[in-house]
Structure 1
Amino acid sequence: MARRFLKYFLPMVVSVLVPHGAKAEEAKGSNKGAFVSLLSQKTLTDIPGGPKERLRRAGIETDVWVTQFFQGVAAGANNGVSRYGGKLDVFVKADAEKLGLWRGLRVNAQYEHYIGDNINQKDYALVPVNAAQAFVAQDNYHSALSLVVTQQMSERLSMSVGKFNAMTLASQTPLIGGGGLDAFMNRAFALPSTGVGVASPGTVADRLIVSPPYILGGAATLKTDVATFNLFFADPRNAANPRVLERPFERGVGVVGGVTVPTQIAGLKGFHTVRGGYSNARGFDLDDIGELRTRLASLVGVTKKGFWVASYAIQQYLVQNAEKPNVGWGLFTLGTLSDGNPNPVRWSVLAGLAGNNLLPGRDNDQWGVGFFHYGLTTPLLSGLAERRLYRRSEGGMEAFYNWAITPWLRLTGDLQIVEPWTVNRPRATYMALRLQTRF
């Protein structure tokens, strides 16, 4: 019955709406064009002449990303444990000049919301294996809002202040990316740092020193013909904690300076970045950590003032698209060194290959493979051993392939193998599927 209805009634409707001949062909071509546009447009709702395009012309850009994760422990401790969850990201960018308000002023806002569950803290790894869900969690902070105001002082100099999302900043790094939403998932790659420092005795979660996921502070960027210089100052604590916004810089301040020098080898782009940072905040003194209870009781020698960290990073394209220089793949590496006390990570290193698939029609696909190692400081490991808590430095590897079904629908397969810092736990293998839809 349904087939007969479609066979006889549908042609009648079409003949009324689109009479004959050229009009019919024109409608057919229009439908085909719309379908091709849907498959090639950047986001699902960014249709030609649509609301997003009209807002963009007025100076406002909006994006909504929904990223779903299914990740589990395929082998190792807690073998068979798996979790499903996701993350909602809403991005709003406003250009005040296009809005007729202020020349060179831009406002960037990002809202994040946690969905479901994740595998973090259900295994025995020190570094989160799912960075995108590691810091916005139901039992911690269910959602987060970042807001940054940038003033372009000249063509070369810009200044920004606000609450920064460090993972979103990391996602702008060539080749390796960051943020855990479309490239590597492990925090070692998605938000590289030398580790966690504690600004005062108490909860470790809100005292991240070297690379907190949310930062309250300001930045200045100067671009010259030979290099790009950055200077950043911030409250050393995690700005997801409301107290940081209520009483900023009460525990101290952190300052980070860096320079990025572009290079070319055989016509292929590369970047060298050197950074150094210092914070005057206080952290746990890791010397004699075995006597921590005694020191806490007397409040003597519990903290130590000052943190420093230095890093050197290289990104070098090995293959580039001749027509799109930013599309290609190559080598990345990062080495970091810290004081080792009160910073519990003395050094870290990561390296690998990543970029785009340059096969015809697949240059939106991303892939990567890399390894990392976090060298924990001796005072921490020996102090824990005195308390019969046996730990070690942690390392591992990760490989992923991000298949762009369309530019706005991406499916990623991810594999991680981690040697956890818990000594009596075996090497763990993690497998994950990640589906991202961009509206």
Structure 2
Amino acid sequence: MWRRREWSGPASPKGRLARARRLIAAACVLVAALGGPALAEDDAVSLAKQKSLTDTPDGPKEQLRKFGIDVDVWITQFEQGITSGAINRTARYGGVMDTFLRVDGEKLGFWKGLKFNAQYEHYFGRNVNRQDLALLPVNVAQAFIERDGYHSALSMTLTQEFSEQFSVTIGKFNMLTLAAQTPLVGGGGIETFMNRSFALPSTGIGVNSPESVADRLIIAPPYLLGGVAALKTKFFDLKLMVADPRNALQPRVIQRPFERGIGAGLMLTVPVEIGGLNGFHTFRVAYSNARGFDLEDIGETARIAQLRGITKKGYRFVSYAIQQYLMQSATDPKVGWGVFTLATLSDGNPNPVKWSVVAGLAGNNLMTGREDDRWGVGYYHYRLSPLLLSGLAARRINRRSEGGVEAFYNFAVTRWLRLSGDVQIIDPWNPLRARASYLGLRLQTIF
């Protein structure tokens, strides 16, 4: 009979070390297999270059694409440990399975411009989130579907492209997947940075609630129900998103959409070329008329029993981001590395984060033969609202703003097999805890 404990793996340090060794050994075995004599040289080259393990020439996936159906399965495994600074030094093994379905309606016999996308995620194992007393999850890919919460999530969107310049998309959006499309820095926690500050920056328009006052307060729902209108021109890209500001992972959002208000965001991206190198400047504003917990009332201990009824209407948020290539491939302008930065500012009430800044270097390794490798190093700081900090202090809960650094290297064994090493150092928002450090391994296989 299946039991949860079977997924969690051995609890002893030797058991956790053995899992890490097995993860690395699996990658080494596949490397050896690709270079060994068992495969003909041409077959080995073809296997190494194909997009996924099962995407063989004239195979089932290629045949399905002729009918407008594209399917991918990603399995990402994590072995991540807290080496210092937390209550207990611990390591956890777990992972996420992502299944993607993309349908081209025109090829399938419907009308031109119709697109359908679905993503199913399933969690397995465990993770170190919430074991460290940090504000931001250090493994965002496992932060929202997890052992003690939702085990899976399904996102679906329907797009109508009216022209090459204008399209409309409606449905349930996976914001981690959207963040993964960001130039240089990427997102989603699967291929680039693992910390939420880089992989899913705050949108500032989600609904906060009193029961989360002393927990993780970053407002950026990982799943949103709504619609996006996109306009692409030679000089700029413009997107307008209207969504329910609550986390669409909750069934009530699907059953009763927009019952607590509506959120809207406008994003303008302008391409800028400097010295022949591509760059992107993105300005975003967002507003929601939803009600959130009024941070001015945190310190009024006499009204603790009535906290659920104390609300403040309206979330306001602005951000500015830059991605600028410093080096680019001569054959593919999307391959290169450069600098990225993101600065955000909010009203500070009911938004619990007054401002934040993220900056670093990231991109591809441009050494010959290693162009598919990705790397990055970044710094973040989240400045919490003074109202939040003073209110918590009045209730004898001492907290502070949080900052940290992260670096990773993603080694492409093949295009469909990637092994990453990751290190993070964080000054947690709990001032009673020392600076924490984390080491992680990540193995991604695309089928």
Same fold (TM over 0.5): yes
Query: Is the 8 Å Cα contact of residues 158 and 220 (structure 1) preserved in structure 2?
Result: yes
- The question of 1:248 aligning with 2:257 is answered yes
Which of 291, 304, 324 matches 2:300? 291
- The question of 1:329 aligning with 2:350 is answered no
Deviation for aligned residue 1:80: 2.4
Structure 1 residues 145-164: aligned runs within 5 Å: 145-164=154-173
Query: Is the 8 Å Cα contact of residues 75 and 97 (structure 2) preserved in structure 1?
Result: yes
> Radius of gyration: which is bigger?
1
1:286-319 Cα offsets, whole Å, 9 max, x none, are 113111551643876x100000100000000000
Match of 2:136?
A: 127
Alignment partners' CA distance in 1, 2:444 and 2:308:
49
Deviation for aligned residue 1:198: 3.6
Structure 1 residues 19-418: aligned runs within 5 Å: 31-193=40-202, 198-199=207-208, 201=210, 210-294=219-303, 296-297=305-306, 302-418=310-426
1:73-129 Cα offsets, whole Å, 9 max, x none, are 111123521100000000000000011112100000000000100000111100000
Alignment partners' CA distance in 1, 2:53 and 2:288:
44
Alignment partners' CA distance in 1, 2:216 and 2:358:
24
- The question of 1:429 aligning with 2:437 is answered yes
1:311-343 Cα offsets, whole Å, 9 max, x none, are 000000000000111000000000000000011
More off after superposition, 336-345 vs 75-84: 75-84
User: What's the secondary structure of 2:272's corresponding residue?
Assistant: strand
Match of 1:7?
A: none
Distance 1:298 1:86, change over 3 A: closer
Alignment partners' CA distance in 1, 2:356 and 2:215:
22
Amino acid at match of 2:93: Y
Deviation for aligned residue 1:138: 2.0
User: What's the secondary structure of 1:381's corresponding residue?
Assistant: helix
Deviation for aligned residue 1:214: 0.3
User: What's the secondary structure of 2:240's corresponding residue?
Assistant: strand
Query: Is the 8 Å Cα contact of residues 113 and 162 (structure 2) preserved in structure 1?
Result: yes
Amino acid at match of 2:131: K
Query: Is the 8 Å Cα contact of residues 160 and 219 (structure 1) preserved in structure 2?
Result: yes
Where structure 1 has 5 or more consecutive residues not aligned to the other structure, the ranges are 1-27
Query: Is the 8 Å Cα contact of residues 206 and 237 (structure 1) preserved in structure 2?
Result: no
> Quick one: percent identity of the two aligned structures?
62
Alignment partners' CA distance in 2, 1:390 and 1:159:
46
Deviation for aligned residue 1:35: 1.9
Alignment partners' CA distance in 1, 2:210 and 2:86:
31
Match of 1:13?
A: none
Amino acid at match of 1:324: D
Amino acid at match of 1:173: T
Query: Is the 8 Å Cα contact of residues 333 and 352 (structure 1) preserved in structure 2?
Result: yes
Distance 1:369 1:298, change over 3 A: closer
Amino acid at match of 2:133: Y
Amino acid at match of 1:397: V
Query: Is the 8 Å Cα contact of residues 197 and 207 (structure 1) preserved in structure 2?
Result: no
User: What's the secondary structure of 1:154's corresponding residue?
Assistant: coil
Distance 1:295 1:154, change over 3 A: same
Alignment partners' CA distance in 2, 1:59 and 1:266:
39
Number of matched pairs = 411
Structure 1 moving runs of 4+ over 4 Å: 194-197, 199-210
Distance 1:293 1:138, change over 3 A: farther
Alignment partners' CA distance in 2, 1:314 and 1:39:
34
Query: Is the 8 Å Cα contact of residues 205 and 288 (structure 2) preserved in structure 1?
Result: no
Deviation for aligned residue 1:191: 0.2
Amino acid at match of 1:165: N
Distance 1:438 1:347, change over 3 A: same
Where structure 2 has 5 or more consecutive residues not aligned to the other structure, the ranges are 1-36
Distance 1:283 1:116, change over 3 A: same
User: What's the secondary structure of 2:245's corresponding residue?
Assistant: coil
Distance 1:252 1:306, change over 3 A: same
Distance 1:216 1:277, change over 3 A: same
User: What's the secondary structure of 1:39's corresponding residue?
Assistant: helix
1:205-235 Cα offsets, whole Å, 9 max, x none, are 9998842100000000001121000000000
Deviation for aligned residue 1:203: 6.2
Distance 1:209 1:103, change over 3 A: farther
Deviation for aligned residue 1:39: 1.4
Alignment partners' CA distance in 1, 2:341 and 2:213:
28
Deviation for aligned residue 1:201: 4.7
Distance 1:118 1:209, change over 3 A: closer
Distance 1:152 1:194, change over 3 A: closer
Q: How high is the TM-score relative to the length of structure 1?
A: 0.90
Distance 1:181 1:329, change over 3 A: same
Query: Is the 8 Å Cα contact of residues 209 and 237 (structure 1) preserved in structure 2?
Result: no
Alignment partners' CA distance in 1, 2:123 and 2:75:
10
Alignment partners' CA distance in 1, 2:160 and 2:293:
38
